[in-house]
Structure 1
Amino acid sequence: MNTLKALIKRNTKLFFKDKGMFFASLITPLILLVLYGTFLSNVYEETFQESLKAAGATVTDKLINGCVGGQLVSSLLAVSCVTVAFCSNMVMVQDRVNGARRDLTISPVKSSTLAMSYYISTLLSTLLVCCIAAGVCLLYLAKVGWFLTVTDVLLLLLDVLLLSLFGTALSSIVNHFLSSQGQMSAVGTIISAGYGFICGAYMPISQFSKGIQHTVSFLPGTYGTSLLRNHVMRGTFEEMSHQNLPSQVVEAIKDSIDCNLYFFDNKVETCTMYLILVGAVVLLIVVYVLLNVLRGKKYK
């Protein structure tokens, strides 16, 4: 246990010591918030307005802004929890590049202990950045339209924790196979550009073709995005009901922005989404530890 603590401390210090890596991780969610608010807010607002117009319903501007803000915030956090994890996990790759990993591997330190030290230190760094991003997002919602309760905020933070666990596990497996700075940069670029689409953050899955919808329904990150959507926007949907919007209209809006997810036309309940996400985290961690144990035996 003391060895694990020492390695976690060592890896975490290395991450924060590299100011470029730390500030790149920290500023990424803030840049996304500005970009989302600048370019996507109008698209989301038009979508809501068209849905309400088709139903012959009207709501206050504050409610519309709250809906748009909730969709923006949930999209940003869903992407950041994974992309930031890949940035935070670069210490593992750097150790392999500069030879420190080989020195640690041939020492008496167990491969499983070394693997968990990288995982936990990456998780701590990722959570720090994502919690700061979540705080900024909550301030943004307070400005544009606040409909959250204390329970909603706590569930939002739980979602951030689970997605950070998932993102850290996924990045640990991917980065396990990287051995150069060039590979690290390439993977980071691919993840940053592509993950937001396949998890439904940039564009709702409901707007994809049926084939793509069925494919992405197998991906755990999809359910993480939906959980964030449900918890950030629960208050706005409740307010819609208070403003006498028909329940059919509210459900149609939920379908259009992936608050309601369907697995081959079967609605996925919230508790099932949690089970899928937690199960994926456990499975990925087990795979990651096994990969490190096998590599450790190879070196020894």
Structure 2
Amino acid sequence: MGDLTALVKRHILRYLRDKAAVFFSFLSVIILLTLYILFIGKQYTTYDGLTALPDGELKTFLVVGVMMGGVLVINSMSLSLGMMGNLIEDLDKHSLDAFLVTPIKRSKIIISYYLAANIVTSTLSTVMWLLTVVYARISGGSWYSLDIILLTILILIFFTFISSSIMIYITTLLKSVNAFGVLSGILGTLVGFVSGIYMPLVFLGDTVKSIASLVPFTHMTILLKNLLLKKPIDELADLVQDDQIMATIETSYGLDHIGVLGIDIPMVWIFVGIIVFSMGLLYLAFRSMTKKMNR
């Protein structure tokens, strides 16, 4: 256990000391926040039934819920990928050779990268969420309830497990630091569009929607948005009192469950499938790493 702890600590400190790596891990989040603040955020308060609402608590809650429902999901992915920079760099520079001549089990070496990614990603995602709670209070004047705050933290930890499993597998497929850099630069933006984070899926057509239904991050975003927007949507429904307008708003906010390839599948079963898929990728990553270390 001491060996594993030392390795995890090494990966975490190495990542945090690399300011460029930390910055680029947040780059997708920075881009997304900028888009929301300058352009996208305003669109979510211009639908019928919203224009008559005064600026204040409810509008702020709506925009924050939509915005952070996507940002926190992208954050879990980009931070997990950023942490995998340690892995690809160790592979590229043959730093793992130094570990292989020690008594440390190879399984511990592989697990250490995964645990380090989970710890850093879940911690920084939780910090970002708590800052969101404070921001919502300062700008809108209302708190998220304690049960929403705690449940969101648990969901973010769950999302971290999924994201880290996917990212470690993708990383084991790469052969150089340059390839990793290219992937880091485009993956966040690609997932943001395909998953309906930058723009609601309803505006992207049926083909993109079908593709999006196969991407775990799409369903993660829908789940988190529904949680963060439950209270403001209920309050808005009481004010608007028009089911058709509310249905349009919920669709435009990306709250509707989309199933898989047009097939209506309950969200719980979709996430069971995502868990199995993530565990499968983690197993494949373990095998791939073992083969590379045996060379």
TM-score bracket, normalised by the shorter chain, equals 0.7 to 0.9
Q: How far apart are the structure 1 equivalents of 2:152 and 2:111?
A: 26
8 Å CA contact retained: 1:66, 1:147: no
Q: How far apart are the structure 2 equivalents of 1:122 and 1:191?
A: 17
Q: Write out aligned runs for 1:34-183 (5 A).
A: 34-46=34-46, 49=47, 51-52=48-49, 58-62=52-56, 63-105=58-100, 107-145=102-140, 146=142, 148-183=144-179
| Residue number among 253, 256, 259 corresponding to 2:255 in the alignment | 259
8 Å CA contact retained: 1:69, 1:144: no
Residue type at the aligned position of 1:236: P
Tell me: CA distance 1:251–1:265, structure 2 relative to 1, closer, same or farther (3 Å): farther
Q: How far apart are the structure 1 equivalents of 2:146 and 2:270?
A: 21
Q: Write out aligned runs for 1:281-300 (5 A).
A: 281-296=278-293, 298-299=294-295
Counterpart in the other structure of 1:216: 212
Residue type at the aligned position of 1:11: H
Tell me: CA distance 1:183–1:265, structure 2 relative to 1, closer, same or farther (3 Å): closer
Q: How far apart are the structure 1 equivalents of 2:268 and 2:244?
A: 23
Q: How far apart are the structure 1 equivalents of 2:219 and 2:120?
A: 23
Tell me: CA distance 1:97–1:201, structure 2 relative to 1, closer, same or farther (3 Å): same
How many pairs were matched up? 292
Residue type at the aligned position of 2:55: D
8 Å CA contact retained: 2:28, 2:189: no
Tell me: CA distance 1:276–1:255, structure 2 relative to 1, closer, same or farther (3 Å): farther
Counterpart in the other structure of 1:14: 14
Q: CA RMSD in A?
A: 2.5
Segments of 5+ residues of structure 1 without an aligned counterpart are none
Q: How far apart are the structure 1 equivalents of 2:108 and 2:136?
A: 41
Tell me: CA distance 1:17–1:168, structure 2 relative to 1, closer, same or farther (3 Å): same
Q: How many Å apart are 1:172 and its aligned residue?
A: 0.8
8 Å CA contact retained: 2:194, 2:211: no
Segments of 5+ residues of structure 2 without an aligned counterpart are none
Tell me: CA distance 1:244–1:26, structure 2 relative to 1, closer, same or farther (3 Å): closer
Tell me: CA distance 1:201–1:273, structure 2 relative to 1, closer, same or farther (3 Å): same
Residue type at the aligned position of 2:250: K
Q: How far apart are the structure 1 equivalents of 2:138 and 2:266?
A: 31
- Structure 2-normalised TM-score? 0.87
Tell me: CA distance 1:267–1:254, structure 2 relative to 1, closer, same or farther (3 Å): farther
8 Å CA contact retained: 1:130, 1:160: yes
Q: How far apart are the structure 2 equivalents of 1:178 and 1:31?
A: 25
| Residue number among 238, 243, 252 corresponding to 1:242 in the alignment | 238
Q: How far apart are the structure 1 equivalents of 2:227 and 2:177?
A: 38
Tell me: CA distance 1:268–1:45, structure 2 relative to 1, closer, same or farther (3 Å): farther
Residue type at the aligned position of 1:61: D
Q: How far apart are the structure 1 equivalents of 2:152 and 2:28?
A: 20
Q: How many Å apart are 1:14 and its aligned residue?
A: 1.7
8 Å CA contact retained: 1:147, 1:235: no
| Residue number among 276, 279, 283 corresponding to 2:276 in the alignment | 279
8 Å CA contact retained: 2:85, 2:180: yes
Larger deviation: 84-93 or 147-156? 147-156
8 Å CA contact retained: 2:49, 2:240: no
Residue type at the aligned position of 1:252: T
Residue type at the aligned position of 1:44: Y
